[in-house]
Amino acid sequence: MFDLKGAEAPLANALRRIMISEIPTMAIEKVELWQNTSVIPDENLAHRVGLCPIMVDPNLFEDKDPETPFNDTNSLRFKLHVVCTKKDPKMQTPLNINDVAEEERIFNHSNVYSGDLVWIPIGNQAARFKSNPPRPLLDDILIAKLRPGQEIEMELICEKGIGKTHAKWSPVCTAYYRLMPDIRIT
């Protein structure tokens, strides 16, 4: 957050639009889905995962050319593999589960979160990002809900991009401005 003083509304709006569309970030672009037995269709699941913000400095990566293969200088790789099971196989599953705490008491991995993404280094990325490995910005973004026997397994590839191309590359969730009145009582 910052204050911009002495600027007209059109300039403030132009800065807002530039922040949304022109600042580069890293986002999941390619999804290789190996297994999806959840109720969420493959394309919806890929879209949901693609919108999870990735915390890494995009200046450390090159823009990927369509003809160039994925490598350690233009992409990141993550893996997601989650299987839901019952904690106690003998326990009868209730018909109505009211909250997340009850789900977590009965099932293992009933909720798939962004924190379940595992970074897989490519090339020399393990050494480059030793002190600050790439990860999702937040670990508690809900991706899917599972029930016993359901499984999600996928590999994800992140690329550098800008918000003008797709909203997943937008570095801000909402950029806004407001006019602050200058009231003087004499």
As to burial, measured by CB atoms within 10 angstroms (0-12 exposed, 13-18 middle, 19+ buried), residue 148 is middle
In the beta sheet, which residues pair with residue 79? 118, 155
The tokens for 183 are 């009231």
For 114, phi and psi rounded to 5 degrees? -60, -25
pLDDT tens digits, 132-172:
999 999 999 999 999 889 999 999 999 999 888 888 888 76
Q: What is the pLDDT of residue 174?
A: 63
User: How large is the average pLDDT for residues 26-33?
Assistant: 93
Give the Cα separation of 144 and 38 in Å (integer): 8
Residue 95 has pLDDT above 70, yes or no: no
Cα 170 versus chain centre, distance? 11
In order of their start, the domains of the chain are 1-23+171-186 (no CATH), 25-162 (2.170.120.12)
Query: 111 has which bridge partners?
Result: 145
Q: Are 58 and 134 in contact (CB under 8 A)?
A: no
